[in-house]
Structure 1
Amino acid sequence: MNKILKSSDSDFLKKFHEVVNYDRSEILDVSSVVSDIIKNVRERGDAAVIEYTSKLDRNNEVQLEVSNDSIEEYIKDVPEDIKDALDLAAERIKNYHQKQLPADQSYQDENETTLGYFWRAVESVGIYVPGGTASYPSSVLMNAIPAKIAGVKDVTMVTPFTDGKINPSIMYAAKVAGVTNIYPIGGAQAIAALTFGTETIKPVNKIVGPGNIYVAEAKRQVSGTVGIDMFAGPSEVVIIADTNNEPKIIAADLIAQSEHDPSAQSILICNDESLANNVIKEVDDQISNLPRGEIARSSWDKNGYIIIANDIDESFNLSNQLAPEHLELLIDNAESYLSKISNAGAVFLGKNTPEALGDYIAGPSHVLPTSRSAKFSSGLSVYDFLKKISLIGCTDKSLANLGEAAIKIATNEGLDGHARSIEYRLSKK
């Protein structure tokens, strides 16, 4: 596949729209399998969860709840330098999200009507933390800390113990983030248990966190019974770069995204074909000695592109159509171009800001919209764990001033009961 697309080519728009519209999610219909799992867990509770966990996670000694003593035993195996790094990340994530907390508001208008709103936290949240080829303590921090800052009382974590084992750093991150309960389960059965509860696991009000195709499908099926954060697709980055860049660094940033998953997407937009060719060479060289090189190679070969744009305005226009999860601006005076950005999950300003910093330690949550959904949605924040409740209060004066108009609208809509609930009050005045 030709890695370079030139906007000056006659067939560019056709090829570009193919990139924009290409579905990188796993093409596999698991809806009936997941539906059966959910039904089984809902009906049989713990027994079904244990059965699926033993079979799918190869965990033959399933203990549905992880005790505090067990957590402390795991934490003993975490190196001090990893603890220090996670502590620093947690502190920065807390500080960033603390500044997002909104204030309640109320006022009285000219009719003496009290209007406003106040905020209340979701009472309980379940966090899904993947296992598999890579387990991420950073995901625990990025999901749990915004919830705790919002005021969520009960934060439950589920994560698969494959072969009965777990990354100890995940346990340390859970403790630092304030997770209240941990269950060693994964897959669709974990989502079902969090939704409907079992003898051991309490149901939650909202479920967040990424997972495989079975987890994503389970979240889709239970959405509405519980809240969910988003339907997460494969990770992606778009890099807009000027000519004053090192190909080695650009290539490293592209690969950092590619190594996530074979379906991840890495795209460079620049206006220098020489830079583009040098970046391609660097990508090939760096992938050859990368521990996750096979994954990165598959991702880059299938989904990696370099686009040669005519100018900076066209670069941002193309990026806005791609609506990337991550947008790196490897350009001089990057902040001056923010007004050109309409669609992105997160923006990384300047040549000293690799996307990987945002994955771990910068402060904003790394849970971001994918699959072009940055056109209509935002990254995870305290707002995902808060409810805004409207406030309305009438005095004699405001009821008299507003009531007649409300009665007319209710009558016009054929809802006489609504009209009467106002009329009866007015008749007493």
Structure 2
Amino acid sequence: MYRKALKSIAGSALFTLLLAQPALADDPKLDTGNTAWMLTSTALVLMMTVPGLFLFYGGLVRKKNVLATSMQSFAICCLVTVIWMIVGYSLAFKDGGGMNAYIGGLSSFFLKGMTSGSLSGTIPETVFMTFQMTFAIITPALIAGAFADRMKFSALLWFMGLWSVIVYSPICHWVWGGGFLGGLGVKDFAGGTVVHINAGIAALVCALVLGKRTGYGTENMAPHNLVLSLIGASLLWVGWFGFNAGSELAADGVAGMAMAVTQIATAAAGLAWMFYEWVKHGKPSVLGIISGAVAGLVAITPASGFVGPTGALIIGIAAGVICAWAATSLKPMLGYDDSLDAFGVHGVGGFVGAILTGVFISADFGGAGLPDGVSMGHQVWVQFLGTLATIIWSGLATFVILKVIDMTIGLRVSKEVEIEGLDINLHGETVP
């Protein structure tokens, strides 16, 4: 009798434990493999700005402005790190209550409550915060290419600080932090909208508000050292694997596919821009192929976790040709001076990638597949709405910030400083 009772109790206990297993399995736990990959990805993305972007941009300007241009990327890295820690991360990724569709809250002001044991999914929240910080750093740094050679350093610091809080954090929240664009179904795996369209539109507004460089169209403004730019582009290419594959936040098959399609699209775009230029001007240039590679990296960014190899190849070719046209034909046609083609590469490339994500996500093209009940046409329309919302807010807010700074401390250096060079006048240093 006692044996039967004990067996019954043991059986009930075993049954209860078995039922409890799924619940226990659902509890978030630290995954050391995912954490190791995200630590690596974070370092790779940081390398994209320091030293990747400052070498890429630094080589593209004239020698008298190379230190000032490189200084901009380095200073932005420092400035945005502090801003992200204080308020940016909280506004982008925390619950904003009744306004959550548009902006996050302040529950993580100064990273309040974050400890070494805090988790974001299967990785430490500290790692997730820092990974996202690297995105917040490179986005405003990209804008600097549009106003190279002519913005005051003090104005740059004010502009980048305000822009990071007023423009970047809200748009990041809209797409990735629980805001209305994510709820609408916008697909942006690693930042085609949040990073590249956002920065590209801001860059165009900056170029228009500041006006053309002194001597633009009459003086030789060719890059002073394309070897630096080639090294910078190479670092961007390598670092972009952290950017795209890291955005899966896990070391899994999706991250592997994101890495593969990133490589394919980048190579295709580099070749496409090179051949476009070769046919148009008779010679393939170093500047052309590295610009094309960056355009391919930009365009595959929103699509990287959603498309397959065939989609990546087509996106890369499209980005290479369209961005080459924007930089070499559209810019002269419209007459704006986007010094280093930040809009032509990032704004246009981001738009191409965002829209084509809606096409090549389809399983018919080897993609991850459209959401249940969603047609390709509808997804493309949703992608367009996401780009439109980003263009409107980034454009308007950037314009207002620039005008306020211009009315207070001024945006642009004097003509004399511009002619002599920013290096010696703004920083008291020159390169040999």
Please classify the TM superposition score into its range, dividing by the shorter chain length: under 0.3
Normalising by structure 1, what TM-score?
A: 0.22
- Structure index of larger Rg: 1
Q: Going by fraction, where is strand more abundant, 1 or 2?
A: 1
Normalising by structure 2, what TM-score?
A: 0.22
The structure, 1 or 2, with the larger RCO (C-alpha pairs under 8 Å, 6+ apart) is 2
